[in-house]
Chain A
């Protein structure tokens, strides 16, 4: 949806990027301090890889659909 200015995919990208940063940062904090949350399968460090996935997707959509490119 480009004709309305900012694409919806850009909004999606920004939100996923912010969430990716927050979740990944917490995951790295867990790894560094060994203070894992009291959840099942905490040893898999889901915040690290899930946060990274969100961040990569978010950055892709933010850059690919940035306003200057879609106008």
Chain B
């Protein structure tokens, strides 16, 4: 095991047992294999084709700043459309209902529009190569270095998450060996990013975006046909709740149950959604995470750079159709092989109840205890404990593959699986290309080799791409022992991204913010986040203080922790800045609001104007929230 070789924890025994013991959901035919193989050939072909166009650092790391608004916008969304989007949120919607769509709407759209309309001019006009690069221009080397190191750390871990998630999907759906999936996908990503740089990553992200829709959209369409449309789905859901097949809850409204932490299964209050998710996490991710901002910085003009997030926001609003809706439909259409209603459970329960050679769970007592914590019906529980074979336990995260297997025959199943692989690989490639740029521009160039030739940095970029993939592989094996992918990623967001938001926002809109203020704000915000996380880990009852309610659950903790870290970051920045000497205004030109002359853009018809499309996006966003209130 690679994990053991690099000193990381190996796959735990129960988890390995569960993985080896569960039969795959589907078997691919020749046609499906051909569909997947063609995809891999295409991405490698693109990598080789673009190799000749990635010779300078500007071409390799910034795609030559030649991307149109559409390409930058689709890439912007696609880089985020990784494992969490496809499997994690489908599973969350099965578990929590349409509440999961908050992460797509309030948790993304306002921030994306803010990035395009308000922040993008500053990023674009100062011609920075990265977000830490912006911090260097605004605050100096200290905060830039802290941001670069934390971001580099986060990206390789995120890449590992993607890699592991993909391998697990392949294991669950096709029975493929985890190691095989990890090696094949990482080799493909390493090849096309190392060859073509950011341009190759962006090209493949656009390709992957189209594939994801082409492969995954059929599932909700057929699901709605089966249930008789949205109204038919709601009627069947109400019936299943009445019979006990589905736990009691409001699965189709987003805000009604947010009045108190105890009123919804996520254990969240509307203030947490609005300020924690809608501001601290969302703005932190969509406006300062270099993984997504890098795509927009590659745009060919300021107008394209502003339009790209706006275009992306429309597609982001539509993603719940292929992610959230299949999870919801799974609540009413999935059945066991004996025709009974299928009830999905947490991964921990699936692992504890993994079958032994005799057919039943290896540890019946532990399995029975685990099942008792779920809402699984007595008949299902008895069948699982008896190991009769006609009832197989599946986890929430398997809902999307289960739905694919339900509706997609030969060829289409291959397309659906390719969509999943494409989503995972775009997430990995996005992280690896961002890691490469950050390491080369913000760590290697300023601190290790300062004045080398341009082709030296391109070579370093290619090597770092390979190294980033290798570290990601190690991270993938590390993730295998994490309690849950979602918790893990949410924790990372609040550690690094949210404090950065406070520093970037103050730096961009407050002339008085100083170098020392930025550095200490970023450091204290990050430490606050880590400390709060560690506090709750050590003493779970501390959750009542962090998330301001004894009824709060993990998701709420993440949101409030992000909020506290932003507040700390801003507060420390303001206090330290007031006691230290600010930069002269002449040094702040092009990086701070009020002293940056923005270029005037040529007038265009209203239907090509970014403000028009922003207004339409705002109206659509409001309509969706009101409809599903």
| Chain A residues near B (Cβ < 8 Å) | 1, 3-6, 8, 11-12, 14-16, 18-19, 22-23, 26-27, 30, 36-42, 44, 46-47, 50-51, 54
Q: Does B222 count as interface, using CB distance less than 8 angstroms?
A: yes
Q: Does B399 count as interface, using CB distance less than 8 angstroms?
A: no
B407 touches A54 (CB 8 A): no
- Apart from A5-B53, A46-B409, list 14 A-B contacts with CB within 8 A: A3-B64, A5-B49, A6-B49, A15-B42, A15-B210, A16-B210, A19-B214, A22-B35, A39-B405, A39-B406, A40-B333, A46-B412, A47-B411, A50-B218
Complexed CA–CA distance, A41 and B211 (Å):
23
Q: Does B314 count as interface, using CB distance less than 8 angstroms?
A: no
- A-B contact list, 16 entries, CB within 8 Å: A3-B64, A4-B66, A6-B49, A12-B206, A19-B214, A22-B35, A22-B411, A23-B411, A23-B412, A26-B410, A37-B410, A44-B225, A46-B407, A46-B409, A47-B412, A51-B411
Complexed CA–CA distance, A66 and B64 (Å):
22
Complexed CA–CA distance, A57 and B13 (Å):
48
A8-B71, A11-B203, A41-B226 are contacts. A50–B42 as well, Cβ < 8 Å? no
Over the window 387-417 of chain B, the binary record of Cβ atoms lying under 8 Å from chain A Cβ atoms (1 yes, 0 no) is: 0000000000000000001111111100100
A4 touches B222 (CB 8 A): no
Q: Which 3 A-B pairs have the closest CB atoms?
A: A37-B409, A23-B411, A26-B411
A46 touches B218 (CB 8 A): yes
A4 touches B406 (CB 8 A): no
Within 8 A of A (CB), among B172-225: 199, 202-203, 206-207, 210-211, 214, 218, 222, 225
Q: Does B531 count as interface, using CB distance less than 8 angstroms?
A: no
A39-B407, A39-B408, A41-B222 are contacts. A11–B66 as well, Cβ < 8 Å? no
CB neighbours (8 Å) of B203 from chain A are: 1, 8, 11
| Chain B residues near A (Cβ < 8 Å) | 31, 34-35, 38-39, 42, 46, 49-50, 53, 64, 66-68, 71, 199, 202-203, 206-207, 210-211, 214, 218, 222, 225-226, 333, 405-412, 415
CB neighbours (8 Å) of A36 from chain B are: 409
CB neighbours (8 Å) of A4 from chain B are: 50, 53, 64, 66, 199
Complexed CA–CA distance, A14 and B64 (Å):
25
CB neighbours (8 Å) of B39 from chain A are: 15
CB neighbours (8 Å) of B405 from chain A are: 39
CB neighbours (8 Å) of A8 from chain B are: 71, 202-203, 206-207
Closest A residue to B210 using CB positions: A12
Main secondary structure of the interface of A (DSSP, over half): helix
Closest A residue to B225 using CB positions: A41
A11-B203, A15-B211, A50-B218 are contacts. A3–B35 as well, Cβ < 8 Å? no
Closest A residue to B217 using CB positions: A50
Say which residue of A1, A19, A26, A27 sits within 8 Å of B38 (CB atoms): A19
Tell me how many residue pairs across A and B have CB atoms closer than 8 Å. 89
A3 CB to nearest chain B CB (Å): 5
B188 CB to nearest chain A CB (Å): 15
B210 touches A22 (CB 8 A): no
Complexed CA–CA distance, A23 and B206 (Å):
22
Complexed CA–CA distance, A65 and B34 (Å):
25
Complexed CA–CA distance, A8 and B407 (Å):
30
B415 touches A19 (CB 8 A): yes
A40 touches B406 (CB 8 A): yes
Say which residue of B202, B206, B225, B409 sits within 8 Å of A47 (CB atoms): B409
CB neighbours (8 Å) of B214 from chain A are: 16, 19, 54
Closest A residue to B206 using CB positions: A8
CB neighbours (8 Å) of A11 from chain B are: 42, 46, 203, 207
B225 CB to nearest chain A CB (Å): 6
Complexed CA–CA distance, A6 and B411 (Å):
28
Closest B residue to A39 using CB positions: B409
Interface centre among B38, B407, B409 (most CB of A within 10 A): B409
A34 CB to nearest chain B CB (Å): 14
Complexed CA–CA distance, A46 and B412 (Å):
9
Complexed CA–CA distance, A22 and B222 (Å):
20
B409 touches A19 (CB 8 A): no
CB neighbours (8 Å) of B66 from chain A are: 1, 3-4
Complexed CA–CA distance, A55 and B597 (Å):
48
Complexed CA–CA distance, A3 and B214 (Å):
27
A46 CB to nearest chain B CB (Å): 6
Complexed CA–CA distance, A50 and B42 (Å):
21
CB neighbours (8 Å) of B211 from chain A are: 15
A8-B206, A18-B38 are contacts. A41–B412 as well, Cβ < 8 Å? no
Closest A residue to B54 using CB positions: A4
Complexed CA–CA distance, A36 and B426 (Å):
33
Complexed CA–CA distance, A18 and B411 (Å):
12
Closest B residue to A25 using CB positions: B411
Complexed CA–CA distance, A12 and B409 (Å):
23
Interface centre among A8, A27, A46 (most CB of B within 10 A): A8
CB neighbours (8 Å) of A26 from chain B are: 31, 409-411
CB neighbours (8 Å) of A16 from chain B are: 210, 214
Closest B residue to A61 using CB positions: B210
Complexed CA–CA distance, A46 and B416 (Å):
13
CB neighbours (8 Å) of A30 from chain B are: 409
A46 touches B222 (CB 8 A): yes
CB neighbours (8 Å) of B412 from chain A are: 23, 46-47, 50
Closest A residue to B74 using CB positions: A8
Complexed CA–CA distance, A22 and B218 (Å):
16
Complexed CA–CA distance, A6 and B206 (Å):
14
Complexed CA–CA distance, A1 and B298 (Å):
11
A20 CB to nearest chain B CB (Å): 9
A1-B71, A15-B207, A46-B222 are contacts. A22–B409 as well, Cβ < 8 Å? no
B415 touches A44 (CB 8 A): no
Complexed CA–CA distance, A39 and B410 (Å):
10
Complexed CA–CA distance, A37 and B68 (Å):
42
CB neighbours (8 Å) of B50 from chain A are: 4
B414 CB to nearest chain A CB (Å): 8
Closest B residue to A20 using CB positions: B214
Complexed CA–CA distance, A42 and B206 (Å):
31
Closest A residue to B71 using CB positions: A1
